[in-house]
Structure 1
Amino acid sequence: MKRNIVIAALTAAALATGGTVAAFAAGDDPSDGRTAAGSGGVTAPEAIAAALKHTPGTALSADLDDDGADAWEVTVVKGDGTEYDVRITPDSGQVLGAQRDSDDDSDADDRAELAAVKGAHTDAREAALAAATKGTVTEVGLDDDNGTVAWSVDTVRDGKRGEWKVALDSGKVTQDRDDDA
């Protein structure tokens, strides 16, 4: 509401002095990974760092919720194997809370992915940083593609979505063409 008043006041002032004005309102657009905070929004690597500071462990994923909750959700696994979902505000990086994931669906694939991450040279934060050169990161997580585990990173640039693989060992970024057909 305040933003609309400021825009209206600026427009009136410009028109009163005989000038012209172009006003742009930055609204919530989860497709670009930022919020109304504009370019000051919290990035995926920053959300992961905040989550790990609050709940130490290994970050397995970070996802900018677009379900109306408007928060980063970072999945962290502690040393004892318990999983936590840590929610981070996308504008300030404040931790909203952490909740233990009570899903007991840890299968062989989950264990293999966790083992791969434990021995990896590239973590979720580094994968997000590497893929950020391709656009604004909106999601990072593990993907097991025919026995090869890599970080899967979704980005948005100029309204176009991109999907990238980041190698666990080298951090090399390649385009994910698995979904292309």
Structure 2
Amino acid sequence: MKRNIVIATLTAAALATGGTVAAFAAGDDEATATQRQTNTSAEAATDRDDADDSADDRDDDATEGRRALSDSRVTAAEAIAAALKHTPGTAVSADLDDDGAAAWEVTVVKGDGTEYDVRIAPDSGKVLGAQRDTDDDNDSDDRAELAAVKGAQTDAREAALAAAAKGTVTEVGIDDDNGAVVWTADTVKDGKRSEWKVAPDSGKVTQDRDED
């Protein structure tokens, strides 16, 4: 009788111990699942934050672009004309710079090959200054592009005028398009930014699908 009582006691203790271990094991599984869910939620939150940051950056760029446009009463074509009057040569680009002090920056190449960056006030068209670009490499590609636009029927000012039919031009310049030199122009219309190609020979404007 005593022997049966001892066996029963040991069996109950073993069952109790096993139940406790099982409970701890179940608790560990739940903790692991909870931790995994927490980590996943944290990663998702990080991804959302990164996406929000990217959207904020785009909004900031758009806001700066609109601010520069709102401050500018001088068109790209007018800025190019003013720059060439001050610094004769061949205009190869014009950009509405909005890095804190909005101004048109027109790059002009003189007959001797030297480049000048001419800054034009966007509200009055007044020349703010001209600085020689000493960082330019003036490599063979640059010379080839310059030669192509020098002999073209459409210059930078005319390219800007052609692109203006698509919206407000914020930038115009020369570019290589699969081995052919073209004018490219950025425009803004109804808050949407678009990019265009302008043929140097005919002045025909086509949308730059590669960039869009």
Per the normalisation by structure 2, the TM-score is: 0.68
Other-structure match for 2:38: none
Structure 1 unaligned blocks of 5 or more: 1-27
What is the percent sequence identity of the aligned residues? 80
* 8 A contact 1:142–1:149 mirrored in 2: yes
Letter matched to residue 95 of structure 1:
V
* 8 A contact 1:33–1:43 mirrored in 2: no
- CA displacement at 1:104 relative to structure 2: 3.8
* Alignment: residue pair count: 150
* 8 A contact 1:47–1:72 mirrored in 2: yes
Other-structure match for 2:168: 136
- Determine helix, strand or coil for the equivalent of 1:103: coil
Other-structure match for 1:34: 69
1:50 equivalent among 79, 82, 97: 82
**Residues 62-114 of structure 1: CA distance to partner in whole angstroms, max 9, x if unpaired?**
00002112100000001111100000000000000000010141112111100
- CA displacement at 1:36 relative to structure 2: 3.3
Asked which structure has the greater CA Rg, the reply is: 2
Q: Indicate the structure whose relative CO is greater, using CA pairs within 8 Å and at least 6 residues apart.
A: 1
Other-structure match for 1:88: 120
User: Matches of residues 2-151 of structure 1 in structure 2 within 5 Å?
Assistant: 30-31=65-66, 34-36=69-71, 41-151=73-183
Greater fraction strand: 1
Moved over 2 A (4+): 28-37
Cα distance change of structure 1 residues 33 and 148 upon mapping to structure 2, 3 Å threshold: farther
CA distance in 1, matches of 2:135, 2:68: 27
1:155 aligned onto 2:187 = yes
- Determine helix, strand or coil for the equivalent of 2:70: coil
Per the normalisation by structure 1, the TM-score is: 0.79
